[in-house]
């Protein structure tokens, strides 16, 4: 992407002259020139978001807008959906500052969108168009229509019939999985899965035959492959593509024998063992999942999850597992605990991140989303309207609403600015 200064250098002109020529061309032909300023939203010029909204107000569909702006259809739909939500929110609160807080954007950007609406609402022929946009989402506040729900359900049914059974997560770990991924990435000449799998199996058999077990391992211990603590999670990223770390776990501990002799119930003993596995792996810079511990203890992952959730509620502490370390899955408990520590107990981001085994950035995101939901609750909005205005899912909105109920201490009424949170990250 070129800047206006780059374009001025090529014909030996002036940036101001180039800027005037671009504006004149855009005004004449209605086409946005893809300079670095409007692609990256740099400088005072019109941005690609504003241009997409302007074309949307003129009645063009997402495909036509994407073609004119050289953007993807998905991106254009995201811009227009945000504009509709912004108008709906502004119509409810009639305050640009509150709208900016709920959306998590600057007040200047909100005013630019509103100015664009005001400019077109004064133009003859566009009043009805803007009124239709403002009315969208009123009522239930849900953006999913009956037709969309039917289509999603049908697609899910088709995938259930055609998708082959998925292997258990622990089968995607270990030496074979790592070697298979390495050969696929670094030695593509070997071919596909049918060619690589016999080679991987043969190499694994040679390793087991010629490499002796760990000599320092005790007879009550075992080796397990956990996901590395610093591994980054991502959409569609399977376990065999994650960096793994071998950890040594105590299958039997002296406290287990004492519990049996003292008549401790089986559920409580299993709960202690599951918590020990998670903590031992984290001490060795690895994180386990419920499926990992379930495979070791020969229990269902859901059963292990119940044990851990019960332990966290009873003890008031969090167990370091992959769900909360890598911020994966719903895991309501950690959101509620983080909001309680930040707003209820008045703790800093550094302390909260350390006590909940979270990154400071995740703590900031939860606190910021909670503040946005809280502003909507102050307006006595329903959960559906709050989810629509904030852009959060309804289930996630309900979680933050549940977090709001117990937070009635003096710390909750105080202000926690986003700048303060990011300043805390810098010192973490």
Q: Residue 96 in contact with residue 106, Cβ under 8 Å?
A: no
Q: What is the pLDDT of residue 278?
A: 94
Share of the chain residues as helix, strand and coil, in percent rounded to the nearest 5: 65, 5, 30
> What average pLDDT does range 295-312 have in this prediction?
91
| Phi-psi domain of 155 (left: phi exceeds 0; alpha: psi -120 through 50; beta: other) | alpha
Query: How many Cβ atoms sit within 10 Å of the Cβ of residue 356?
Result: 22
Residue 253's SS3 state is coil
Q: What is the pLDDT of residue 214?
A: 67
| 410/272 Cα distance (integer angstroms) | 36
Q: Does the pLDDT at position 425 exceed 50?
A: no
What local confidence, expressed as pLDDT, does residue 268 receive?
Answer: 92
* Choice between 273 and 361, residue whose per-residue pLDDT is larger: 273
DSSP state letter for 342 = I
pLDDT band at 333 (very low <50, low <70, confident <90, very high): low
* Mean pLDDT of all residues in 273-283: 93
* Beta carbons within 8 Å of 79's beta carbon, 6+ residues apart: 48, 49, 52, 53, 56
CA 365 → CA 208, 274, 349, 371, distances in Å? 46, 29, 11, 10
Mean pLDDT value of segment 233-241: 76
pLDDT at 32: 62
What mean pLDDT value characterizes the chain?
Answer: 76
- Residue 73 is predicted with a pLDDT of 80
155 pLDDT band, cuts 50/70/90, is low
Q: What is the pLDDT of residue 175?
A: 84
Residue 96, pLDDT score: 84
Greater confidence, 101 or 157? 101
Per-residue pLDDT of 45-88, as tens digits, reads 456 677 777 788 777 888 888 887 777 788 788 888 888 888 88
d(CA 128, CA 121): 9
Report the SS3 class of residue 1: coil
Taking 60 as the threshold, does the pLDDT of residue 410 lie above it? no
68 three-class SS:
helix
| 298 compared with 153, residue with greater pLDDT | 298
Taking only the tens place, the pLDDT of each residue in 338-397 is 887 888 778 888 888 777 777 788 788 888 888 888 888 888 888 888 888 888 888 778
Per cent of the chain over pLDDT 90 is 12
Q: What 3-state class would DSSP assign to 311?
A: helix
- Distance CA(425)–CA(353), nearest Å, equals 10
Residue 138 banded pLDDT, cuts 50, 70, 90: low
Q: What pLDDT, on a 0 to 100 scale, did the predictor assign at position 239?
A: 79
């Amino acid at each position: 992407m070129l800047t206006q200064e780059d374009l001025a250098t090529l014909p030996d002109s002036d940036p101001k002259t180039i800027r005037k020529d671009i504006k004149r061309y855009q005004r004449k032909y209605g086409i946005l020139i893809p300079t670095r300023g409007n692609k990256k939203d740099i400088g005072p010029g019109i941005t690609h978001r504003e241009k997409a909204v302007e074309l949307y107000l003129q009645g063009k569909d997402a495909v036509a807008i994407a073609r004119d702006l050289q953007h993807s259809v998905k991106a254009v739909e995201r811009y227009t959906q945000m504009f509709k939500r912004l108008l709906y929110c502004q119509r409810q609160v009639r305050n640009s500052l509150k709208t900016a807080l709920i959306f998590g954007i600057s007040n200047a950007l909100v005013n630019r969108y509103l100015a664009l609406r005001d400019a077109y609402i004064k133009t003859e022929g566009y009043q009805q168009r803007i009124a239709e946009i403002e009315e969208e989402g009123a009522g239930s506040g849900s953006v999913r229509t009956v037709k969309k729900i039917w289509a999603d359900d049908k697609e899910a049914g088709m995938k259930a019939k055609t998708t082959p059974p998925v292997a258990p997560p622990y089968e995607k770990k270990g030496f074979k999985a790592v070697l298979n991924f390495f050969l696929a990435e670094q030695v593509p000449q070997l071919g596909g899965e049918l060619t690589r799998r016999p080679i991987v199996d043969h190499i694994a058999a040679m390793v087991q035959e010629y490499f002796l077990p760990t000599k320092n391992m005790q007879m009550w211990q075992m080796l397990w492959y956990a996901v590395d603590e610093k591994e980054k999670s991502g959409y569609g990223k399977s376990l065999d593509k994650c960096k793994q770390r071998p950890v040594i776990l105590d299958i039997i501990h002296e406290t287990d024998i004492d519990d049996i002799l003292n008549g401790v119930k089986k559920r409580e003993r299993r709960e202690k063992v599951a918590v020990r596995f998670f903590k031992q792996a984290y001490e060795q810079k690895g994180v386990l999942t419920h499926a990992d511990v379930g495979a070791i203890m020969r229990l269902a992952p859901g059963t292990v999850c119940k044990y851990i959730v019960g332990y966290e509620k009873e003890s008031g502490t969090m167990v370091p597992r992959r769900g909360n370390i890598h911020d994966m899955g719903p895991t309501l408990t950690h959101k509620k605990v983080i909001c309680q520590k930040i707003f209820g107990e008045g703790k800093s981001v550094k302390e909260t991140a350390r006590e909940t085994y979270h990154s400071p950035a995740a703590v900031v995101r939860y606190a910021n989303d909670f503040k946005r939901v809280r502003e909507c609750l102050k307006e006595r909005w329903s959960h559906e309207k709050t989810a629509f205005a904030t852009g959060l899912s309804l289930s996630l909105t309900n979680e933050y609403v549940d977090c709001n109920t117990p937070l009635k201490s003096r710390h909750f009424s105080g202000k926690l600015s986003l700048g303060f949170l990011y300043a805390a990250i810098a010192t973490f």
